[in-house]
Structure 1
Amino acid sequence: MKDSKISALLIVFNEEKNIEEALKTVEFADEIIVLDSFSTDSTVEIIKTKFPKVQLYQNKFEDFTKQRNLCISYAKSEWILFLDADERITPELKNDILKEIKKPVTQKAYFFKRKFFFKGEKVNYSGTQNDKNIRLFKREVAHYDEHKRVHEGLDSVENPGVLEHYLLHYSFDSYESYHDKVIHYSKLKAKDLYEKKIKYRLIKQLSKSIFNFFKMYILKLGILDGRKGITLSYLSALSSFKTYEFLKKEYA
């Protein structure tokens, strides 16, 4: 008989604002596993008191790829469903998932299209209109590329499917939280560049930063998002600028 069981996985750190709603949206899974990076807020307490069936593990954070691969190692089901704490699975997407994995023939992995929100308001453009991420996949392809610390992806997946309904992504809870995320990701990306022996160049730092703003604001229609578009385009440029700034320190 075909195994259609699902392990829902989350890696978290200080997600007391998000963890309860996120876990509620994956309660349909056969098992739920959370890997926490020793949160200092009430994340762990919320999980233990409100979600006793959740399997909770802790591990010191090094990078996203290592955390995801470790979390996968705890899973027992044929299907892996990865969710970030700031993402929500809608009832419609849940139905897509359950329907798809029960088909006689399936893909090995599936993209989820995402709708973004900034301070609770939907972002329509700024590059988010085409965003999609692999969030559902079989154990046989369940391994993230260890050469990428951030914006991690599976090692090798051919022709992933795409589910119809959207995953809701509340990544931009506030300017401050998104700014902090940009800085954190930039540090990790700088380490990736350093290990690839890419040298710091001021002209590359400036040109990439300027282009990223132009790409987000003009080419990806951030201008149509009003003030949100300006903010998100600026933060996109800041990400490039800080990545090379941290890269320069690696060579210092």
Structure 2
Amino acid sequence: MKDPKISALLIVFNEEKNIEEALKSVEFADEIIVLDSFSTDKTIEIIKSKFPRVKLYQNKFEDFTKQRNMCISYAKNDWILFLDADERITSELKTEILKEIKKPVTQTAYFFKRKFFFMGEKVNYSGTQNDKNIRLFKKEVAHYDENKRVHEGLSNVDNPGTLQNYLLHFSFDSYEAYHKKVLHYSHLKARDLYEKRIQYKKMKQLSKSAFNFFKMYFLKLGVLDGRKGFILSYLSALSSFKTYEFLKEEYA
């Protein structure tokens, strides 16, 4: 019986700061595919000059779900390992991945637990203590739910497993970068709500924003992360607030 093979996939845009380390961390994969959204920095140059075996494609960005599903369409192997450019596979996680997929009986998908870093420092609370995402799955279930433009998830996975070693998530090195992402994601989420005909309500906007701050800062112990916890809680509240602001604009 042949050993199972892995296709490592990344969707990227202007990731010159991250792309080299991200690709190095998945060099153990049998195939590496990058789908780029026409980066304007040195992302493409770095890939072509330092990673000749990477299969590079480009497609104009519409939303995360479409990009991920398109990237999957290029993959040839039975297992898909999806990585964001700001994530890193550790040597311990690599060993666990290779051991797990060689078992006689496996799950169809696996959660990776993540250690979260913000502005160069590890975040221990603020909800990140329970942070996990499906990053490894069989190609037979490899399809992202097209009803979600952001915070996308696989549409047909039941009872995924969880690997024990951590994926490192170097989220943002500055407040400005995170703020920019919050606005981008909020706009995409607003489009989802609009297409579902969810109506804009001022009280719902205010209450959800306030609750998101309270939940992250107090219930999820962001207060124990000090200044970082306050910033992350504020940005969580801002995400809700801006989502409804953009939703209101959709109806204007």
Same fold (TM over 0.5): yes
Query: 2 CA distance for matches of 1:113 and 1:152?
Result: 17
Which moves more between the two structures, 132-141 or 170-179?
170-179
Equivalent in the alignment of 1:159: 159
- Three-state SS of the structure 2 residue aligned to 1:150 is coil
Deviations 1:21-59 (A, max 9, x none): 000000000000000000000000000000010000000
Q: Do 1:3 and 1:78's aligned partners in 2 also have CA atoms closer than 8 Å?
A: no
- Three-state SS of the structure 2 residue aligned to 1:165 is coil
Q: Aligned runs of 1:27-38 on 2, under 5 Å?
A: 27-38=27-38
- Three-state SS of the structure 1 residue aligned to 2:242 is helix
Equivalent in the alignment of 1:199: 199
Pairing 1:229–2:229 present: yes
Deviations 1:51-73 (A, max 9, x none): 01000000000000000000000
Pairing 1:215–2:215 present: yes
Query: 2 CA distance for matches of 1:137 and 1:3?
Result: 16
Q: Aligned runs of 1:98-109 on 2, under 5 Å?
A: 98-109=98-109
Query: 2 CA distance for matches of 1:184 and 1:2?
Result: 43
Query: 1 CA distance for matches of 2:57 and 2:141?
Result: 23
Deviations 1:156-203 (A, max 9, x none): 111101001000001122101000000000000000000010000000
Query: 2 CA distance for matches of 1:172 and 1:109?
Result: 27
**Alignment TM-score, normalising by the size of structure 1:** 0.99
Equivalent in the alignment of 2:91: 91
Deviations 1:5-29 (A, max 9, x none): 0000000000000000000000000
- Structure 1: 5+ residue stretches without partners: none
Equivalent in the alignment of 1:182: 182
Report the AA paired with residue 12 of structure 2. V
Report the AA paired with residue 249 of structure 1. E
Pairing 1:8–2:8 present: yes
- Structure 2: 5+ residue stretches without partners: none
Equivalent in the alignment of 1:251: 251
Extract structure 1 runs of 4+ deviating beyond 3 A: none
Deviations 1:55-104 (A, max 9, x none): 00000000000000000000000000000000000000000100000000
Report the RMSD for the aligned CA atoms in angstroms. Answer: 0.6
Equivalent in the alignment of 2:148: 148
Query: 2 CA distance for matches of 1:137 and 1:82?
Result: 9
Query: 2 CA distance for matches of 1:41 and 1:155?
Result: 33
Query: 2 CA distance for matches of 1:156 and 1:206?
Result: 34
- Three-state SS of the structure 2 residue aligned to 1:198 is coil
Query: 1 CA distance for matches of 2:92 and 2:152?
Result: 26
